[in-house]
Structure 1
């Protein structure tokens, strides 16, 4: 072994120890490894930084943005609810469904693309089922790789061994030649995960609540918002048309609060915003066909509607009975709890004199005073220290309240605003997702271009709110980890470490018969794919496997299939495949989770494959 090879293997060993220990951030370890390899001139600066221009890394950035669009439009929740209806909340049934659906998609779409489609849905599904997403995300990543073995196009190593066979004059494999083997892989994966899931992160239902406080749904339920909200529409002959809310004096006359007005602005395209939503202020001018959101007792709402010839929409559409908070919280408008500081000048002042609506542009919807909720006649209530007040306004205005010395905002309004889905954009997000899948299946354009097109469309059509939000959807730790570890494979190949290992295996096992050689080829492929890409691993070992078969005078097919399967079934490391890295952050996994769950699964599939490959492809015909 030369000096460069020794240094490379030492750096790899130290990096692996640091990954396993978890005491140093994984992205920092990856960058540190690159720096060392550059300092010893094993890698040129161009080679060391090549990982960050790699198509896989660029794809991952795009896939995070696509996933953000699927989340923010509510499409993930919609699809996850459908899966919940089929499987219920039983963890075992959900796990089986997720893995089977993912494997089927993975048969036709790259495993990275499969994760892009399924990860937002699975995270939403876990939250709906009140389960830790970490219970499902690692099985999801593994299932995407297992499904790749079902078809010729499922994973790049399958195409590599096809090329090697054709170049050697053998008959190529058909599109579904891999299917029986793929089904065995999936069956082993499903059964193994039933036992290995005990090592996945446990459910901690209270942790999410401790981190985020009360959700928007909980606030709406506690303040009984949906029991006190009604909608009335302004008719053509209504006397309130063209008048301001200040002129009408609705709170004083009817003990009602007009909190919001929705006004139709377009009816051309149902997929785009057709309703303008605005917080009601004293200067707001009522227009014909406006829908007023009125907060107060039903008797007073009916009296108000009768006096001004208004149509009570809630007699036809019982929105006020819904448990949804769409009428209070949208992409633009939200709700939050605020409290007064001990020295606040607002203490002991009446709500109507506080200027909340005029100065801060927010409405007060309710007051929590100890264990009592005050929801009506708020204008005549005095604000006291210790009161919690529920306010509604634009998310931006609510966030600005935090800058006021007299007021404390409970929670983080901007963070809460990102949790409100843009449901009207869900059909657009679904269309973009399907377009991406079709482009990935047909291979009409490069896979990275397909993903980047989908990411750009998500931003252009507003499925992701803006470019800032698009950047925030990307988990940069995963990107840096993969980008930093890809050049490690260059160093391993460049220094000859990979070839030394593979050649040594052939010489070591050459005297023990074809079955032992088959096991050795699978083992060395499975080990190498932990450190170099599965495609590079297959390119390196496929000719060696073919040569070993010819040396024994046996059928080369089982040997080449061992290379393809060994290169694709890599589960023991987070940086070995993009799917493993993509789920690492969302599942809150440590390196040890991959060792405890992925390594046994990788070994189990290896044992089964060495046993069954000679059955599907006998050594001697």
Structure 2
């Protein structure tokens, strides 16, 4: 063993140890590696920084943006709503549909993001069906992990392994190369969780001590809004048709506040902000808040030509993905102190309506419109999530105290959902056809998302998980350093000497097991970076095709089922599912063994060894 190889191995061991300790952060450790390798003379500066120009890094960044576009347009959330509708109070059907939906969506966007979207959906469904969340949260995380085995772009390790094949002169994997194996593992995962859920239903649900974010239902209760909401359609013979909302003056004359307006578009109802100059049309549906207690509703309907419609839930909660709330308080130097709610001008300036006022922790209902504001008063404003987000930091006369938990589910570009699906379809079509390289197909998808206003530049940059990209860039030089110093050759010699006589199937099983075990301690992306060169070199030493060996590493990198810390997906459900560490070990280890057996048998059949 030469001194340079010894140094690289010591640096690798130190890096893995720091990853396990998570001190400092993994991306910081990766940057330290980028500095240490060229300073020691193992690599040149250009070789160390080559990862920043790697197509796989750009592709992964672009896929983060595509996934954010699906979230912002509400595509992901609508799948959750569909799941709730189709489950129909049947736990078995819910579990099957949940895993299929999560795996399908996770095959084209970040599995971590998909699981984060579905957690509140599953909690709500579980509460309605009176099912322990523990019986659903682990199936949710397992489906998120399995989604990484369905397509080339489903998870960064797949892209990393594909890029390593290309660097070695191969053609790489196709978009659907993983799909046959992934579908088998998904079917096995669904069947397994239908049996394993009985082990999860008894998981202790200990109350958490951490403060929970307030939800819309909390705000509705605290400000006593329930029962004040109405949903009114403007009839064709209504005198409101053709008038602007400012001309109608429903708020000042009838104590009726228009919170939002539903207007039917070509494909779906569109939510409009109630600006004063908005012209009303026949068929518009007004979402209104009744300030004045004891209002003569029949007279209101008759006078303005309005038709009442049914409502679901409390205070427009069925529109929570488009219409939201925020609490606002007035600081001592605010120019709004002493003014009434009517005098504030929130609708004209910010597109929001003030519907609630709390003073000394008590909600003020009667006389709300005329109450003079004091220091310490808290106002509740209602409007579109876009307007609420823009409210933050816009004025010195008020402070936005908090946003409810539902802001994470909001879809600020909901009307662009068809265009988001079109952009996604174009990207997938380009990748499948091979007309352009995958990285260009993903960038074209991003540009289409931006052109259709599914996502803006600020949201696109925020969507990219820079820590993951820096981690990949920092770990890529290790593969080159091990290759230059003879480390990969040494590892392959040891593996072939140990298992070469047992046949390629035993080598594949050993590679899967080794990759899965390393993935318990460091990220699956870093594991793929380290193991892909070893797998390909091992295939060459055995005189076999590199594709089944590379595929095994990619599948094993996604098989992070064994502990709650082996993947961010598992960590996300740990709290909501009230799991302990041993729950994942008890359920995850047997399933990992099953996945290994299936992978070792199927991969050589689909991708011949010779």
* TM-score, structure 2 normalization: 0.71
Residue 545 of structure 1 pairs with residue 548 of structure 2: no
What whole-Å deviation, never above 9, does each CA across 1:455-485 have from its counterpart, x for those lacking one?
2222221222x11011111111111112221
SS in 1 for 2:536: helix
* TM-score, structure 1 normalization: 0.70
Say if 1:498 and 1:480 are closer, same or farther in 2 by CA, change over 3 A: same
Matched length: 556
CA contact (8 A) 2:478 2:530 kept: no
Other-structure match for 2:491:
501
Other-structure match for 1:439:
430
Say if 1:409 and 1:191 are closer, same or farther in 2 by CA, change over 3 A: same
What displacement does 1:20 show? 0.8
What displacement does 1:67 show? 1.2
CA contact (8 A) 2:43 2:481 kept: yes
CA distance in 2 between partners of 1:251 and 1:523 (Å) = 72
Residue 608 of structure 1 pairs with residue 593 of structure 2: no
Say if 1:40 and 1:474 are closer, same or farther in 2 by CA, change over 3 A: same
CA contact (8 A) 2:72 2:454 kept: yes
Other-structure match for 1:30:
30
Q: Which runs of 5+ in 1 are unaligned?
A: 107-112, 168-174, 548-556, 575-579
How do 1:176-195 residues align onto structure 2 when only pairs under 5 Å count? 183=184, 187=188, 191=192, 194=196
What displacement does 1:12 show? 0.8
Q: CA-atom RMSD, angstroms?
A: 5.4
Residue 139 of structure 1 pairs with residue 142 of structure 2: yes
CA contact (8 A) 1:231 1:291 kept: yes
CA distance in 1 between partners of 2:206 and 2:197 (Å) = 20
SS in 2 for 1:381: coil
What displacement does 1:293 show? 5.3
Other-structure match for 2:115:
122
Other-structure match for 1:554:
none
Residue 570 of structure 1 pairs with residue 573 of structure 2: no
CA distance in 2 between partners of 1:196 and 1:546 (Å) = 46
CA distance in 2 between partners of 1:202 and 1:34 (Å) = 44
Residue 312 of structure 1 pairs with residue 306 of structure 2: yes
SS in 1 for 2:299: helix
SS in 2 for 1:279: coil
Residue from 318, 328, 344 that aligns with 1:338: 328
Residue from 321, 324, 339 that aligns with 2:316: 324
What displacement does 1:390 show? 1.7
Moved more, 338-347 or 74-83: 338-347
CA distance in 2 between partners of 1:178 and 1:279 (Å) = 49
Q: Which runs of 5+ in 2 are unaligned?
A: 124-132, 519-526, 576-580
Other-structure match for 2:289:
295
CA distance in 2 between partners of 1:524 and 1:187 (Å) = 22
Say if 1:587 and 1:497 are closer, same or farther in 2 by CA, change over 3 A: farther
Moved more, 497-506 or 122-131: 122-131
Other-structure match for 2:130:
none
Residue from 401, 410, 421 that aligns with 1:410: 401
CA distance in 2 between partners of 1:611 and 1:402 (Å) = 61
Say if 1:614 and 1:50 are closer, same or farther in 2 by CA, change over 3 A: closer
Moved more, 127-136 or 17-26: 127-136
CA distance in 2 between partners of 1:410 and 1:572 (Å) = 41
What displacement does 1:80 show? 2.2
What whole-Å deviation, never above 9, does each CA across 1:534-586 have from its counterpart, x for those lacking one?
65444322222237xxxxxxxxx9x9856743553235889xxxxx9885897
CA distance in 1 between partners of 2:370 and 2:295 (Å) = 20
What displacement does 1:23 show? 2.1
Say if 1:270 and 1:114 are closer, same or farther in 2 by CA, change over 3 A: same
Residue from 392, 399, 403 that aligns with 1:399: 392
What whole-Å deviation, never above 9, does each CA across 1:179-217 have from its counterpart, x for those lacking one?
68984797489749959998xx99888688x36x32345
How do 1:484-495 residues align onto structure 2 when only pairs under 5 Å count? 484-495=474-485
CA distance in 2 between partners of 1:412 and 1:569 (Å) = 40
CA contact (8 A) 1:241 1:286 kept: yes
SS in 1 for 2:305: strand
Other-structure match for 1:523:
510
CA distance in 1 between partners of 2:585 and 2:320 (Å) = 45
SS in 2 for 1:440: helix
How do 1:434-513 residues align onto structure 2 when only pairs under 5 Å count? 434-464=425-455, 466-509=456-499, 513=501
Say if 1:567 and 1:400 are closer, same or farther in 2 by CA, change over 3 A: closer
Other-structure match for 2:418:
427
What displacement does 1:24 show? 1.4
SS in 2 for 1:546: coil
SS in 2 for 1:445: coil
How do 1:117-266 residues align onto structure 2 when only pairs under 5 Å count? 120-130=113-123, 135=138, 139-140=142-143, 142-147=145-150, 183=184, 187=188, 191=192, 194=196, 210=211, 213-220=213-220, 222=222, 223-224=224-225, 227-231=228-232, 233=234, 238=239, 245=246, 250-251=250-251, 253-254=253-254, 256-259=255-258
Say if 1:471 and 1:275 are closer, same or farther in 2 by CA, change over 3 A: same
CA distance in 2 between partners of 1:443 and 1:44 (Å) = 34
Say if 1:615 and 1:181 are closer, same or farther in 2 by CA, change over 3 A: farther
CA distance in 1 between partners of 2:24 and 2:88 (Å) = 39
Residue from 263, 273, 277 that aligns with 1:277: 273
Say if 1:384 and 1:430 are closer, same or farther in 2 by CA, change over 3 A: same
CA contact (8 A) 2:275 2:347 kept: no
What displacement does 1:14 show? 0.5
What displacement does 1:410 show? 2.0
What displacement does 1:11 show? 0.9
SS in 2 for 1:122: helix
CA contact (8 A) 1:185 1:605 kept: no
CA distance in 1 between partners of 2:314 and 2:376 (Å) = 30
Other-structure match for 1:110:
none
Other-structure match for 1:75:
75
CA distance in 2 between partners of 1:435 and 1:184 (Å) = 27
Other-structure match for 1:21:
21
SS in 2 for 1:143: helix
CA distance in 1 between partners of 2:319 and 2:177 (Å) = 51
What displacement does 1:335 show? 3.1
